[in-house]
Amino acid sequence: MQNATAYRRVRGAEEIVSIADACLGGLRGRSALLVGPQEERCPYTDLLQQAGMKYLYQEDTPAQVSAILPHIQLLISVPTARPPVPLLTAASIARGCIGRRTPLLIFDLSESTSSVEELAGLLPAVCLYTPDDLQRIFSRLA
């Protein structure tokens, strides 16, 4: 059972990284931020390093996200499956996007409630994939 869960986690990470690669026109030389517990970030860390990311920032909680946002093109929120999930607010994302000229791609990979406030997807430089968006995408691929 544990091996099956680990396989699904890695397979899901491969699909997310593939979507990010397509959306950003490649990952080589770009920078990303992974937010969530280390054990949840691990499959993404490995895949993003293999893809040639220039910088890979990692945070356990969203507390410092707005300070890092100006330096990244990709944010992946991988919260723990156990509630409560700390919310990454649209206000903190907006603060980090002040003066931004390049798009910011955000994946909210929460399994229960959203870990990224959906209003963030309305910000001009932000493309947010919510858990519902990803579920629709993956159901079409199945």
pLDDT tens per residue across span 82-133: 666 668 999 999 999 998 888 999 999 988 778 899 999 999 989 999 988 9
Fold of 2-141: Rossmann fold (3.40.50)
Cβ atoms 30, 73 nearer than 8 A: yes
Q: At what angle do helices 2-24 and 131-141 cross, to 10 degrees?
A: 100
**Domain limits, the chain:** 2-141
pTM score over 0.95: no
Question: What is the model's pLDDT at position 27?
Answer: 97
Range list of H helices, the chain:
2-24, 38-50, 65-68, 90-96, 131-141
